[in-house]
Structure 1
Amino acid sequence: MDYLRSFGSAAVSTLVQKSGLNLPFSLGAKVYSCETFWTLYDATKREDGSLVSVFEYDLTHPLNKSTIPLARNSLRKLRTIRHPDVLRFIDVVESDSSICIMTERVRPLPLALSQSSSSVPREREDWLIWGLHRISVALAFLNDSASSTHGNVRPSAVFITPSGEWKLGGFEVLSSPKDDLSVIYTMGGLMPDAMAYAPPEVKKEGWSALKDVPVPAADGYALGLLLHAVFNPTHPPPPTAQPPHPPPQVSSRGAIPSSVFPSFKKLLNPNPKLRMSPKILLDIGMAESDGEGHGFFVNNRLVKVCAGLDGFTLSSESDKASLLRTLKESASSFPPEFVSYRILPCLASALEFGGASAATIVPLVLQFGKNVAPDDYGSIIVAPLVKLFASTDRGTRIALLDNLSDFAEKLDKKTVVDKIWPNLQTGFTDTVAVIREATVRAIILLSPKLSDRILNNELLRHLARLQSDPEASIRTNTCILIGRLGPSLGYNTKRKVLVPAFSMALKDSFVHARVAGVMAFMATAECFEMDDVAGKVVSAVVGATLDKEKLVRDQAFKAVELFVKRLEAHAANMVTL
């Protein structure tokens, strides 16, 4: 079983060996041993190869015997609670030796904080406030909608997705305080370092004290400690965390933003009935008033951008334009993972609906793409753009064609032949001239990746038709394209196609089309056999020396001179009989 070779888990190995189970995931490297009994692994979902995480609980470990009910409570809650800001459950494998929970791919917050790539204080602060906003939303949902207390809010219960978003996990003691037998009352003290994150009332009277306080009280207090921990990771817990729990002083603010500090103090109020709840923190943070200590969430750049992206397709055109302008102006300052896994997928999704925004969104996607890791560029940038070639929306098509130069080099031949060309060629016959012309120009960039069959047959049939297009600029560009393609065409195709195509251009009523015809003859001079030069090419070009337009005549004389010199050189080397 090679897919288990790197997991390093005796429990999982035993699970497979004894049960013969075909696991739905392939375990990778061990990421973290969580404080809450779980070991976290990177993994791959076997069904589709997507990246996932696996939390393993070893049921056979002697130290875990007493906390098995907490592990099962965590599984049960994670399985049933579905919320955008809660760790997303995918699957579970249970046996006598272990519980393995598969979730979306994540890293624990402590690890993410230590590996944070941002060295700019403002960017880091934006990310932390955005993350605390998401955790506050999750806790408000659990406290109010689910009437439950999380009871284990701490850095190791928060997980970070590849996009940098914060997800709430750690549901070992999550329960309803209305239930006298809730695990939070009977087993809350079994959590590692339980007292370090417990509110004052629990430290004084035990976990059963939560029966007589508001549902959010414990979570509000722990949220305050979490807030302190992420902004001041090298500082000890604030003095208010220890008896006699004095109110937080300005001296304990550290790096906590001044706008957040008033709420921080209220979260750590030792009186549970006066303590701020996560919902109230959320309301104050989202308040758009100018009052002191308000609006720290709603004015956060990442919060604004996420709200705009989530509702983009339903937004008014002015709101869309405002968001896109913000993204463009701030493109270089967003965290790379936020760009790759949050902004770009939303923009690509928005493009699927088509519309005038495509002209702005496609260049923006490519602008953001400059900061995407090379290994991810294909999946994050190229794949969504290639998919859009199937769109029937003309705004989307023209945006792709106008910006093709920015990603054409990243396209492989198979993608161009199998996915782009079948859709692209419909542009040659589009009723809108702008689409036809843009399609012709695009071929210059894609021609090196077209198959011989397409170049010598399908494409040339389209171009032959376009040489009679009603639009003069399209006829001109078609002739220029055939001239550029000339050296790439097959031997027989060159002899059959080039002279008739360029000769046709020399008879065009549009002066620049005639110039293009002469220039194309010169550009493909090496493509003609000497007998064709003498018998067909010179006779076709020489007539243009008497064109009514001087621009055409001047180029024609240059062409005649070029071909005559080639004939003279060839004749000088001929063997005299």
Structure 2
Amino acid sequence: MGNDHSHLGGIEIEEKSVEVSDFWTHYSATIVNSENTTNLSVLIGELFVDGPLWTTHTPLEKNSKHFMIYRHPCILKYISSWHKSSKFYLAVEEVVPLGHSLALQNTLQICIGLHSILKALCFLHETAFISHNNICTASVYTTRDGNWKLGGMEYACKFTELTRDYLKKSKSSRYDKAIDPNEEKHVQGSSRRDFVDVFAYGVLVCEVLKTKSDDDVSSLTSFRDLCKNELQSIDVAARPKLSSLLQHEFFNHEFIIIHSFLVELPLKSDEEKTQFFHSLVERLKAFPEVTVASQFGNLLLSRLVLLNKTAQDELLPFLLCPKEGGEDGTSNFFTEDTFRKYLAPKLLEIFCVRDAQIRLLLLNHFKHFVHIFTKDELQTCILPELLVGVKDTNDHLVSVTLRTLADLVPILGAATVIGGKRGKLFTDGRPVTHPGRRPRRTSKRHDPPPDPTLNNPIIQTHHVMMNLPERPRPDGEEGETSAEEAEQSVEGDLDNWEDWGETNPVQENGETSSVHTSESTPSIFESHDQNGAAQEAVVQGVVAIAVRKKSLPDISELDIKNQASSDQNDEFDFFQDMEPVIETAEKFLVEEEVADVSIKLNLAVTEEGNEDGWVDEEW
């Protein structure tokens, strides 16, 4: 304790002080180097203080020592302590002095606070066997939730060390009204050593309840009279023990019982927890929602409550679903304003907890309270935690997290939730509707007359060909394909040949296959009468071009030895536009002797050939 090694790293202390006392100054501070920002309080005092009690330790050092040793839920929580230069630093949980918040608390909150201080004193007296010696409002602090915590333990000592000399040395610095006028006499003539705190607690109760009445909490007046008459009695033996006050009706109020059970929840059995949460909903409805939210908010959202099966089924559905529009007709507890003020900050902290069961519980109710948070809270606090859940190995957690991200898209936008570049990849394929324009059919006489060309095959073919996309004009005669277009057409279709490796396709009859233009198409035009001769010529030319494009020659036909003779009546000549023009009749006259040699070069398979396709004749 008190060395540089316990110094909290990354702590930022505010310049403005919260309180200045005789021995230290109270500041608010924040730890900024952690994943989640932590608020706390820092007490700064001098390392050297004059006084007969501070020869060994300063008041702040003794306070720090007692906080570190005596741990109790109702005693101020110790975090760290260190010294720097001539200053001593004590870091505790975030609190403010009771005097700063007492005027803002109602009677129920004060009742709970007095009950907390009473339990802390019972712990010190019956378990630690020490006396606090300075019970007053200056020694009590309140947390952000409004809970009271006992502090100011710089005068605490063990019962064996409580002597007349010790009380005399500390009397000048303690709270005057809380000092028993005859304490030095009582410490010598009585064996009790708790009388100092009993008297001071009676004074504290009278001060904080002096303006309250039974209308707020039942048995308030009787308890206040008890503290004034019996706890401050001149006869030390007539003063009751503080533990007996726990049985008073003032502390057995329904609200106090609920609060005590939630605080002591780890000590309860499973059967007691089941019975408690089974009836808790109806019991809480008897109190104002603001009081329940402010006093029970953190307790109802504690880890032990969230993981309890009965609480998950019978309490949390009403707790985590705020009333829509502030309506009182629902069975839920809190309105949106109350939920936003008291429960939302706690939920933001719980979202940072990396526990699968707690995260699943929050995600299952997320759609009910997502609108409570601001866009900044959703984007900076909740969204990053949800994105962490997407990368978990728990498939169920990932599935529920993805559904929760879908609830954030209408609020934050897909660009924020999903990230990355997006584009409009889908279109709206619904038919365009025109309101007020509905087609009506009154009778058949309004129908359009039938088209006389529907049953005419020639005109139908003409319509099909005339609707073809416009093409560039060929180089040759009109209606014919140019040489460049023919070559491009052949080269384009060569890519789709399936028999690329076959050099000489053979038909079943042993003859080389060839492609011929079908003669069925011109017969249609021949059957037509002479009145449409001009139209037939145009259509026939277009059809001829199309057929010529589709009827591509086989590669075997391009071989010169497989060329047809000049007297063959081919309808289309694919090479007539090539230059120079070669006269076949003059250049390729072959005599009969040479023809015999060409027979030897013919690789076509005949019935008399062997398995390899070669003729057995010798050269």
Instruction: State the TM-score, normalizing by the size of structure 2.
Output: 0.55
Match of 2:177 among 186, 192, 196: 196
Q: How does 1:41-190 map to 2 (within 5 A)?
A: 41-48=27-34, 49-60=37-48, 67=54, 69=57, 71=59, 72-95=61-84, 97-113=86-102, 116-118=103-105, 124-179=106-161, 184-185=166-167, 187-190=169-172
Does the alignment pair 1:217 with 2:195? yes
SS at match of 1:270: coil
Which of 412, 417, 421 matches 2:378?
412
| Structure 1 residues 385 and 323, CA gap change in structure 2 (3 angstroms) | farther
Uncovered stretches (5+) of structure 1, i.e. residues with no partner: 1-14, 119-123, 235-254, 286-294, 458-487, 496-526, 529-536, 539-558, 566-577
Counterpart among 322, 326, 337 of residue 279 in structure 2: 322
Do 2:280 and 2:315's aligned partners in 1 also have CA atoms closer than 8 Å?
no
Residue in structure 2 matched with residue 345 of structure 1 by the alignment: 301
In structure 1, C-alpha distance between the alignment counterparts of 2:150 and 2:113, rounded to whole Å: 10
1:364 and 2:319 correspond: yes
> Judging changes above 3 Å, is the alpha-carbon distance between structure 1 residues 99 and 310 closer, same or farther for their aligned structure 2 residues?
same
Aligned partners of 1:47 and 1:80: how far apart in 2? 27
Provide the C-alpha distance between the structure 1 equivalents of 2:416 and 2:20, rounded to a whole number of angstroms.
57
**Deviation of the 1:210 alpha carbon:** 5.4
Q: Flag the 1:202–1:344 CA change in 2: closer, same or farther, 3 A.
A: same
Q: For residues 137 and 372 of structure 1, do their structure 2 counterparts lie closer, same or farther at Cα, with a shift above 3 Å needed?
A: same
- Distance in 2 (alpha carbons) for counterparts of 1:563 and 1:322: 60
Aligned residues of 2:81 and 2:88 also touching (Cα < 8 A): yes
Shift of 1:299: 1.0
Letter in 2 for 1:209: V
Match of 1:491 in 2: 424
In structure 2, the CA distance between the partners of 1:383 and 1:445, relative to structure 1 (3 Å rule), is same
SS of the residue corresponding to residue 207 of structure 2 reads helix
Partner residue, 2:519: none
User: Once the 2 structures are TM-superposed, how far is the Cα of residue 211 of structure 1 from its aligned partner?
Assistant: 7.3
1:307 and 2:261 matched: yes
2:346 to 338, 358, 380: 380
C-alpha distance in 2, partners of 1:228/1:143? 22
Q: Secondary structure of 1:144's partner?
A: helix
- 2 CA distance for matches of 1:73 and 1:134? 23
Alpha-carbon shift at residue 88 of structure 1 (Å): 1.0
By how many angstroms is 1:44 displaced? 1.9
Maintained 8 Å contact 1:85/1:137: yes
In the TM superposition, what is the alpha-carbon distance from 1:345 to its structure 2 partner? 3.5
Question: 1:270, CA displacement in angstroms?
Answer: 1.0
Kindly indicate whether the alpha-carbon contact (under 8 Å) linking 2:203 and 2:227 is maintained by their aligned counterparts in 1: no
Measure how far apart 1:162 and its partner are: 1.1
Secondary structure (helix, strand or coil) at the match of 1:305 reads: helix
Deviation at 1:209, TM superposition (A): 2.3
Counterparts of 1:404 and 1:198, CA distance in 2: 51
Q: Which residue of the partner structure matches residue 247 of structure 1?
A: none
Partner residue, 2:451: none
Deviation at 1:232, TM superposition (A): 2.7
Deviation string, structure 1 residues 394-413 (Cα, Å, up to 9, x no partner): 87654444x25644765635
Give how far 1:309 is off.
5.9
How much does 1:196 deviate?
3.2
Instruction: Tell me how far apart the structure 2 counterparts of residues 417 and 65 of structure 1 sit (CA, whole Å).
Output: 57
Mark the CA change 1:387 to 1:369 in structure 2 (over 3 Å): closer, same or farther: farther
CA RMSD, 1 decimal: 4.6
Larger Rg: 2
CA distance, structure 2, for counterparts of residue 456 and residue 214 of structure 1: 70
The answer to whether the 8 Å contact 1:157/1:168 transfers is yes
Q: Aligned partner of 2:23: which letter?
A: F
Q: Deviations over 1:165-219 (max 9, x none)?
A: 11111112211232377983463224244x532224326x3xx825733121111
Asked if 2 retains the 8 angstrom alpha-carbon contact of 1:220 and 1:267, the reply is: yes
Q: Which amino acid aligns with 1:58?
A: E
Match of 2:409 among 446, 462, 482: 446
Alpha-carbon offset, residue 101 of structure 1: 1.2
Distance 2:371 2:274 in 1: 26
Distance 1:392 1:374 in 2: 20
Alignment correspondent of 1:257: 221
1:358/1:423 CA distance change after superposition, 3 Å: farther
Report if the CA contact (8 A) 1:413-1:450 is conserved.
Answer: no
Decide whether the 8 Å contact of 1:404 with 1:442 is kept in 2. no
Equivalent residue number for residue 266 of structure 1? 230
| Larger helix percent | 1
CA contact (8 A) 2:134 2:178 kept: yes
Please give the per-residue CA displacement for 1:340-399, whole angstroms capped at 9, x wherever unaligned. Answer: 5x34532x7633556672574144235347345968876423453686995499876544
Deviation at 1:53, TM superposition (A): 1.2
Structure-to-structure mapping, 1:224-239, within 5 angstroms: 224-232=202-210
Separation (CA, whole Å) in 1 of partners of 2:241 and 2:145: 27
1:333 deviation in Å? 3.6
C-alpha separation in 1, matches of 2:381 and 2:94: 28
**Which residue of the partner structure matches residue 11 of structure 2?**
25
CA contact (8 A) 2:351 2:359 kept: no
Distance 1:188 1:178 in 2: 16
Change in Cα spacing, 1:414 to 1:268, as seen in structure 2 (3 Å) is closer
Aligned to 2:301, what secondary structure does the other structure show? helix
Query: How many residue pairs align between the two structures?
Result: 407
Whether the 8 Å CA contact 1:365–1:381 is kept in 2: the answer is no
Partner Cα separation in structure 2 for residue 422 and residue 148 of structure 1: 48
In structure 2, relative to structure 1, the CA distance for the partners of 1:211 and 1:112 (3 Å cut) is: farther
* Separation (CA, whole Å) in 1 of partners of 2:336 and 2:366: 17
Do residues 39 (structure 1) and 2 (structure 2) align?
Answer: no
Aligned to 2:553: none
Q: 1:329 to 1:70 in 2, by over 3 A?
A: same
> Residues 46 and 311 from structure 1, CA distance in 2 versus in 1: closer, same or farther, beyond 3 angstroms?
same
Q: Please, what TM-score do these two structures have when normalized by structure 1?
A: 0.58
Q: Distance in 2 between matches of 1:40 and 1:271?
A: 38
- Post-superposition offset of 1:139: 0.7
| Contact 1:389–1:397 (8 Å) recurs in 2 | no
Aligned to 1:553: none
